[in-house]
Amino acid sequence: MKLLSPDELEQALRDIGARRYHRLHPFHHLLHGGRCTKGQVQAWALNRYCYQAAIPMKDASLIARCEEPAIRREWRRRLVDHDGEREGEGGIARWLRLTDSLELDRDDVVSQKGALPATRFAVGAYIRFVRERTLLEAIASSLTELFSPAIISERVDGMLKNYAFVTPETLAYFQQRPPQAQRDSEFALAYVKRHALSADVQEQVLAALEFKCDVLWSMLDALYHAYVSPGHIPPGAFVPKD
């Protein structure tokens, strides 16, 4: 691979999003297009909880390996966003209000017992990627957030329009996310553009974003297989009532 300018690197990262971000996945289209049953929306929310719950651990392990106070402070906002300042606040608590409003039992959701094994394996792979790879690759793997404001607005509009069981309160999580994701991804992108200065390292950075796209994509693949078509729910996983 040849050395890219910072702007070419940004373009190459955005191209990965255009080809591999889970906004392109058939399950996303079903979900926001109103073609999911309530049981399928429950399965999505229950599995996605595993991801939400892991994010602050992922971010803390990134901070734990970062020697610059300014970067650590910036990254710390993500902990605040997800864990809040007190009980009942933050993104994880808002996600649990979403699963509450879908009439899932909170203990079941938090225990992650009914989650698909493939979800747990994908989330585990992401946590360990951030823990074990270089700090730059760990930061680059967060760059799917460059693409999340678009998917979130499609999801919120589509779900509110199409599902009687979804209200603005259900989706409170998503109302907070776009400005946070924009702020965070701009910071991460600037960091990556500033630090990925050799062709080898640029290749690592691009691979890190592809890896992260694979994590999100494989979570929707597993949902599709288990709950849409052919609908083979693996032993032990959540079985919808409707």
Percentages helix, strand, coil for the chain (3-state, rounded to 5) are 75, 0, 25
Phi and psi dihedrals of 16, rounded to 5?
-60, -45
Interface with a copy of itself includes 232 (CB under 8 A)?
yes
- Mask: binding to a copy of itself, 101-140, rule CB under 8 A, as x and -? ---------------xxx-xxx-xx--x------------
- Mask: binding to a copy of itself, 143-162, rule CB under 8 A, as x and -? --------------------
Query: Total number of residues binding a copy of itself (CB under 8 A)?
Result: 30
C-alpha torsion 63→68→73→74, nearest 10: -90
Q: Name which of 75 and 227 has its Cβ closer to a copy of itself.
A: 227
Interface with a copy of itself includes 226 (CB under 8 A)?
yes
Shortest Cβ 129–a copy of itself spacing (Å): 9
Q: Which amino acid would we find at residue 204?
A: Q
DSSP 129-188: HHHHS-HHHHHHGGGGGGSHHHHHHHHHHHHHHH-TT--TTTTHHHHHHHHHHHHHHHHH
Please report, as ranges, the residues that interact with a copy of itself according to CB under 8 A: 19-20, 26, 116-118, 120-122, 124-125, 128, 210-211, 213-215, 217-218, 221-222, 224-226, 229-230, 232, 234-236
